[in-house]
Amino acid sequence: MRKEFGDLINTFENVVCRQIPAPDKDCSRIPVLLSDATMKERYENVLARMKEEEIDTLVIYGDLEHGNNFEYLTGFLPRFEEALLVLHSNGQNYMVMGNENLNKVPFSRVKAVPVHAPYFSLPNQPMENPKSFVEILEEAQISGNSRIGIVGWKNFTSSREDNRQLFDIPSYIVERIRELAGEGGEVFNATYIFIGNKGVRCRNNVNELEHYEFGAALASDCMLKAMDGLEEGVSEMELGGMLNAYGQKNSVVTIASSGKRFIKANLYPTDNKVKTGDAISLTIGYKGGLSSRAGYAVKEAEQLPEGVKDYVDAVVKPYFGAYATWLEEIHCGMKGNDLYQIVEQVLPKSKYHWSLCPGHLTADEEWMSSPVYDGSEEILESGMLFQIDIIPSVPGYGGTSAESTVALADEALREEIREKAPALWKRIEDRRKYIETELHIRLNPDVLPMCSTVAYLRPLLLNKGMAMGLLEE
């Protein structure tokens, strides 16, 4: 810990904007598929949690936007239809699929019996089926007098509701399952099996880290390309083209914005061109990680708009100081609340108006869940994959962001990566060296950068050589 959060950190005198060489683009450009052993491990972990929770049947919902718990076991998203994966504690599995995804069942990474449900198909496709929806669910062996957990995508954590009776999947599915469960059964939200405290998806093995590192590093490389290509006169769409690559599925809407945002409720890049003094926002996300950067299209502070010429001192330095502290302090075994309070201490919410969790887990989706919140007793564990997502909002100023992806790994997992994934380990070592020697941030040994641009922030985006860093001690 640097200076026990004393005056040096709190006044950010050790945070400077200076000439710093850019990191290298280092995505391997070779996607790493999940192994059969990993998929078997995932399935067995879910069955073990079902046994612990005395769940007879687990009904896992999926659609294109809310299918990552489904994908975790099947290996694919159901594209434009709805789908159910039904797991029974006795080892029987069923996949309830619409017209155009029924043929994907043989390719599923978890073996399951196909059940055709035309009700899941697109509007006006053939739905002539001799079976009612209840009968289709019965075909998947969903029955009464049993404990049935429903898995959507949201782990509700309200203090005012019975979270186990809040469901985020279509009501016609929940209602029919309740009908089948009868008075002697129990139906409840079991998304916590997958995400949240002790969720099976919250920790990753070596193969999973390799799999997700590809997307995190690709997002990072694309962000470097866009930042290097950002000049006066370039259009938002041109920047958006630089952010997207190789036909990979985005985990978030691509952001390439210059100047005012959300004109006529538009979220996407337009032909609007970058002008000196514009506030800039860039974001790209792929499976495994997201990169986001925000700043101003200027070469020097004097070109900043009136009223925000102190942008670097007033907004960026405090943010970067908190970001660096986050990297220096996070480690395996700490409580989520401890990290939350560290960020609150160095970047008070009352002054910098951040409102979300200062750091969250990522995987197939950009935001999976977060163990980092006020009062959290959740333990930050080896194998967790984090987005460094601290979002200050200082009235009158443009934003600042260097959101990137890191993994936590204890000594045992680090040694396993060295042995099983030496190319990944070499990239991690190079990234750590850059952060420590060029940015002067002392990383905890547990912190593994999943891309080359972790902590790399250019606040004055037309000045390609200037970036934020700490003073060398």
Kindly state whether residues 51 and 111 are assigned to the same domain: yes
Element (H or E) spanning 31, and its range? none
- DSSP one-letter string for 203-233: S--HHHHHHHHHHHHHHHHHHHHHHHH--TT
Q: Of 405, 155, 108, 463, which is closest to residue 280 (Cα–Cα)?
A: 463
Residues 375 and 435 occupy one common structural domain: yes
User: Given pLDDT bands bounded at 50, 70 and 90, which one contains residue 340?
Assistant: very high
Give yes or no: residues 364 and 457 share one domain. Answer: yes
pLDDT tens, position by position, 375-434: 999 999 999 999 999 999 999 999 999 999 999 999 999 999 999 999 999 999 999 999
pLDDT of residue 153: 96
Best CA proximity match to 405, nearest among 356, 366, 354: 366
pLDDT tier at 12, thresholds 50, 70, 90 = confident
Q: Among 144, 177, 200, identify where a domain stops.
A: 200
Full domain range(s) for residue 124: 36-200
Helix (H) or strand (E) segment spanning residue 330:
none
Residue 275 and residue 185 share a domain: no
Residue 102 sits in the same domain as residue 147 = yes
Strand 186-189 with 57-62, pairing: unpaired
Residues 299 and 448 in one domain: yes
**How far is the C-alpha of 329 from the C-alpha of 219, rounded, in Å?**
25
Q: Domain boundary residue among 200, 228, 251? A: 200
Same domain membership, residue 207 and residue 196: no
Specify the CATH number for the domain of residue 466.
3.90.230.10
User: What mean pLDDT, rounded, does the chain reach?
Assistant: 96
Q: What is the CATH number of the domain that holds 163?
A: 3.40.350.10
Q: Residue 11: pLDDT band by 50, 70, 90 thresholds?
A: low
Tell me, yes or no, whether 252 and 297 share the same domain.
yes
Final residue of a structural domain among 172, 200, 228 = 200
Q: In what order do the strands lie in the sheet containing 360-361?
A: 360-361, 385-387, 405-408, 447-449
Same domain assignment for residues 403 and 431: yes
Residues 182, 311, single domain; the answer is no
pLDDT of res. 8 = 37
- How many domains are contained in the chain? 2
Do residue 296 and residue 179 come from a single domain?
A: no
Q: Are residues 209 and 175 in the same domain?
A: no
